[in-house]
Amino acid sequence: MEKLIAQLVRLYMATGQPNPGLLAQRVLGEDTAPVDLSTPEGTTRAIVIPFDKARYQEDGQHWARLCEVAHALQARYGFPAPGVSISAVSGFRLWLSLEAPVPADLARQFLELLREAAFPDLVVAPDAATRLAELPPCRDGASGRWAAFIHPGMGASFIDEPGLEMAPPPVAQAAFLEQLESIELEQFHAAIAALQPVRPAAAVTLTAVQPGSAPQADTSELLLRNATLEDIVRHLHAQNIEPTFRHLVNRAGGG
């Protein structure tokens, strides 16, 4: 059991979060309350993405969607493989581990950007990064079934019947978690930057003029190499654009 608790702490806990004694009670099924994975300072090391069967119309679609998201996180952003768990009653969960705590608002922003970019059916509640979580292995107090971490290759076996009737062996749970690594903060911030919507830059159009003359409106486009430095500055100022020295040098030089 000590090995399992050490892995849970390594991956998902930060200072001020559940102590090993409380985790031990959960592993034994004595404590069934959900766990707060955010710190008193409002930071978190764990991002949990739920995939509940009830949200999807097609049989097994919740598992298929989890696989798509897990693959995208690894292939597009270089994240290590996330943890996968079965919920005691409602489906599957993806578990992302961060090497150090980040503000909960930043974690929620990451989920929102991920949803907007590729997965509109992801659940991103306002408290998605701070809500109490069903940290496996643990027993559901109402149903008596167990949530547990699983090997990804086992997921299809739990599509119709999530959760376990008996407590999972702590040694096996620890073995699953030992294979997982945390996301480096540099990777995490790079993923957030990559997920930001791309806003097209404002086009700068110069009107056809003779070098040295004032620009005239509503005429054909002028190639920058045919304009003087004064022409460029005048036109940019007319568009309320303040050119930088580097920009002007590059443009005037024909680059």
Dump pLDDT digits (tens) for 69-79.
999 999 999 99
Mean pLDDT, residues 241-255: 43
Dump pLDDT digits (tens) for 165-181.
999 999 999 999 999 99
Distances (CA, A) of 126 to 45, 92, 111, 112: 18, 20, 11, 10
pTM of the predicted protein model:
0.76
Asked whether residue 206 carries a pLDDT value surpassing 50, the answer given is: no
What CATH architecture does domain 2-195 belong to? Alpha-Beta Complex (3.90)
- Region(s) of the chain under CATH 3.90.920: 2-195
Asked whether residue 220 carries a pLDDT value surpassing 60, the answer given is: no
**CA angle in degrees (0–180, nearest 5) for 130-7-11:** 40
Q: Which of 29-38, 82-91, 155-164 has the lowest mean pLDDT?
A: 155-164
Question: What strands, in cross-sheet order, belong to the sheet with 91-103?
Answer: 43-52, 91-103, 83-86, 146-149, 138-139
